[in-house]
């Protein structure tokens, strides 16, 4: 299993010698697997590790026990550790976000903050194949384009995902082999959260009634879309240089000329132009592009 992850890390050049890697660790199976694997690989890549644990203020004593468990485990491995306690419910209300969105937002903010504080240059998070399939399906039903269907990237800026190539059975088998316990977040079983409905209701139905390898196939489709999106992005850059320009505060596209290009590329160039002008693609829909 470890060799599979090494091959994946090398394929995407995730880790270089001397890296200082911040690891987001919740105490769950995925993050404990990531933590122990990166600890094992220190002799190979000569990297150093620093663990960040974020407690969301939603689960009371159970969450505090997660925090203590991660701290104790890091102590046994000799890895530096820092925890943060955040009132995610309050943040969600203040910023008009779902609890899921607020939790993700604050986690990554703290990862980047701690990375800067300790002089890190990489942030490792523990997404796996199931997360990739889940994000792919969620984005498809929301009407996402190629970027959304590309799902979770193995590498994005300083974010790396070394165990994205593993499925849950791989992870649990690895933890059992090394006698590593992990914490279970009871909120994962609640279908009050949208993603949990995919994980707990839709995925089991798909595997039982449609195809036993449904999750794996969705993850593979997402990886295929990553390659397609990368190609489209390169083409958009070429077309932008040909048809687009910046003039003061205006973004100009030679519309008459660009309409000779394939329609899906025209839309991607317009989307690119909009993002340059507005600073964000938020609230721009397929209807607007059409």
pLDDT tens column, 147-162:
889 999 999 999 999 9
pLDDT tens column, 65-80:
999 999 999 999 999 9
Dihedral sign computed on CA atoms, order 137, 155, 170, 34: negative
Mean pLDDT of 202-227: 94
Structural contact between residues 40 and 23, judged by C-beta atoms closer than 8 angstroms:
no
Mean pLDDT of 113-139: 96
Tell me the pTM. Answer: 0.88
Question: Which of 66-80, 94-108, 132-146 ranks highest by mean pLDDT?
Answer: 66-80
Q: What is the pLDDT of residue 33?
A: 98
pLDDT tens column, 260-279:
999 989 989 998 999 888 88
Q: What is the pLDDT of residue 279?
A: 82
Cα(5)–Cα(54) distance, rounded to whole angstroms? 25
Between the alpha carbon of residue 243 and those of residues 4, 254, 265, 275, 290, the distances in Å are 44, 5, 12, 16, 18
Structural contact between residues 62 and 51, judged by C-beta atoms closer than 8 angstroms:
no
Mean pLDDT of 130-143: 91
């Amino acid at each position: 299993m470890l060799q599979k992850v090494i091959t994946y890390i090398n394929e995407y050049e995730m880790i270089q010698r001397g890296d200082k890697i911040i690891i987001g660790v919740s105490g769950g199976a995925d993050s404990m697997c990531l933590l122990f694997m990166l600890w094992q690989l220190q002799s190979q890549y000569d990297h150093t590790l620093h663990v960040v644990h974020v407690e969301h203020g939603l689960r009371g004593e159970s969450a505090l026990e997660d925090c203590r468990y991660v701290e104790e485990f890091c102590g046994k491995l000799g890895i530096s550790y820092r925890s943060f306690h955040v009132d995610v419910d309050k943040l969600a209300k203040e910023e008009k976000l779902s609890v899921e969105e607020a939790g993700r937002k604050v986690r990554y903010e703290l990862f980047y903050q701690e990375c800067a504080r300790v002089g890190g240059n990489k942030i490792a998070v523990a997404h796996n194949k199931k997360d990739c399939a889940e994000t792919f399906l969620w984005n498809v039903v929301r009407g996402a384009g190629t970027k959304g269907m590309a799902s979770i990237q193995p590498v994005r800026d300083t974010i790396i995902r070394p165990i994205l190539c593993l499925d849950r059975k791989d992870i649990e088998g690895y933890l059992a082999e090394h006698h590593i316990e992990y914490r279970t977040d009871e909120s994962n079983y609640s279908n009050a959260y949208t993603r949990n409905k995919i994980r707990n209701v839709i995925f089991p139905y798909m595997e039982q009634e449609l195809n036993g390898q449904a999750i794996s196939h969705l993850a593979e489709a997402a990886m295929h879309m990553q390659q397609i999106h990368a190609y489209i992005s390169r083409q958009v850059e070429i077309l932008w240089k040909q048809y687009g320009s910046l003039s003061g505060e205006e973004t100009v596209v030679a519309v008459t000329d660009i309409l000779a290009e394939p329609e899906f590329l025209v839309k991607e160039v317009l989307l690119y132009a909009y993002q340059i002008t507005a600073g964000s693609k938020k609230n721009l829909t397929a209807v607007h592009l059409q």
